[in-house]
Amino acid sequence: MSPLRSARSAAGTIAHRALTAYAERQPGHGAEGTVTVHSQGGLGNQLFIYAAGLSAARAAGAELRVDVGLHRERDDRPWLLDSLGLPAEVVDLGYAEHPGAGLLEKFRAAPRACSYREPAFSFDQQALAQPAGSCLFGYFQSWRYVEPVSEQMHAHFRRLAEHRAERLAAVDIDPGAVVVHVRRGDYLAAAGYHGLAGAQYYREAVGLLRRCGFSGPLLLLSDDLPLALEELSDLGELVPLAQPGMDAVDELLLMRAAPALVTANSSFSWWGGWSGQRPGRPVVSPRPWFDEPTVSDRDLLPPSWLTLDRRTFSGR
């Protein structure tokens, strides 16, 4: 690992530990008859946190409450689930600024309500065994947190697709098409933690799906279309899938509609894969999900998905 990537990885670990230590010192903010989760991150992270909270609330016989205070502190990470119509009480509990500065500044909005804090990235059954009145803090990135409420989540996605049918009708997806999602953007700045699924990974994934019989057009979704088109230029014609004016929810629904999907190591990709689960529809994802070696992704991907080791295909 290069010195720069090592520094970024160490910085991320230090910041995470500081955030956790600070959260442990805060008083609880439980509410009778509810399970509260603290939403954070982009759309994919928000969906994981929501689904885990819904599973925990159902197990506790409680209502779900979602605290969106962290989004108030991050202009680049707004609360997006209101546009999905997912049922929950949405609150803003308020946050105290982290006393640190510099590296820790972006974590200044540490939650005050953390009766349960995710101890590691892998699935923890205890998260779904918390009593009513609990507050949960974590990312909860595992299909196993979603599974208890899978029927309800799929129903929400179906209704959402119906609600946005007119917007999505502008996009024609061939039944043999392969949809490719390339995550760059903020991952370029945090490559030491997330890592990047490189061009060779995408070549191998597309080749695998071609051998599975998906011979239609290659359709591209990315947060950096020019860079993705440049990196994948030797795959043949890549057609940008999203239309002008479409938002992140539209792009998620386009991934959901994909006959075959190649994901990035991105929670946004993950939900594009999971929400479109159906017989005969393959999803290919990269492993490891993170470059950070202390983060386990063993419970992240559904068992039915195809995976490729992106470290084997690290070059162009």
Based on the domain organization, do 270 and 132 belong to the same domain?
no
What pLDDT does 311 receive?
A: 79
How wide is the angle at C-alpha 220 spanned by C-alphas 186 and 246, nearest 5°?
75
Is 198 found in the same domain as 67?
no
Whether residues 21 and 86 fall in one domain = yes
Whether 24 and 116 share a structural domain: yes
**pLDDT at 188 (0 to 100):** 60
- Amino acid 90 reads V
In tens, the pLDDT along 166-194 reads: 999 989 999 999 999 999 876 666 555 66
Domain identity same for 249 and 130? no
Say how many domains are in the chain. Answer: 2
The pLDDT value given to residue 4: 38
Cα gap 91→76, rounded to integer Å: 19
Residue 87 lies in a domain: yes
Tell me, yes or no, whether 224 and 272 share the same domain. yes
> Looking at the DSSP assignment, which residues form a beta bridge with residue 261?
179, 283
- Report yes or no: 130 and 138 within 8 Å, Cβ to Cβ: no
Give the pLDDT confidence score for residue 191 in this predicted structure.
57
Q: What is the pLDDT of residue 30?
A: 57
Q: Is residue 315 part of a domain?
A: no
Contact 72, 92 (CB under 8 A): yes
Tokens of 215: 């011979």
**CATH code for position 291:** 3.40.50.11350
Same domain? 137 vs 8: yes
Q: What is the structure's pLDDT at 189?
A: 60
Quote the CA–CA distance of 115 and 134 in Å, as a whole number: 6
End-to-end CA distance of the chain: 18
Does residue 164 sit within a domain? Answer: no
Looking at the fold, whether 206 and 240 belong to one and the same domain comes out as yes
Per-residue pLDDT of the chain (316 residues), as tens digits, is 444 344 444 444 444 444 444 344 344 455 779 999 999 999 999 999 999 999 999 999 999 999 998 888 776 788 999 888 898 999 988 754 444 433 344 344 444 447 899 999 999 999 999 999 999 999 999 999 999 999 999 999 999 999 999 999 989 999 999 999 999 876 666 555 667 888 999 999 999 999 999 999 999 999 999 999 999 999 989 999 999 899 999 999 999 999 999 999 999 999 999 999 999 999 999 999 988 888 889 999 999 999 999 877 654 4
Q: Comparing C-alpha atoms, which of 96, 246, 107 is closest to residue 170? A: 246
By C-alpha distance, which of 116, 118, 100 is closest to 108?
100
User: Is 230 inside any structural domain?
Assistant: yes
Q: In angstroms, rounded to a whole number, what is the distance separating the alpha carbons of residues 137 and 153?
A: 21
Same-domain status, 140 and 24: yes
Give dist(CA 72, CA 39) in Å, integer.
11
| In a shared domain, residues 146 and 48 | yes
Whether residues 17 and 130 fall in one domain = yes
Distance CA 219, CA 223 (A): 14
CA dist 173 and 170 (Å) reads 10
Domain with 100, as residue range(s), is: 3-150
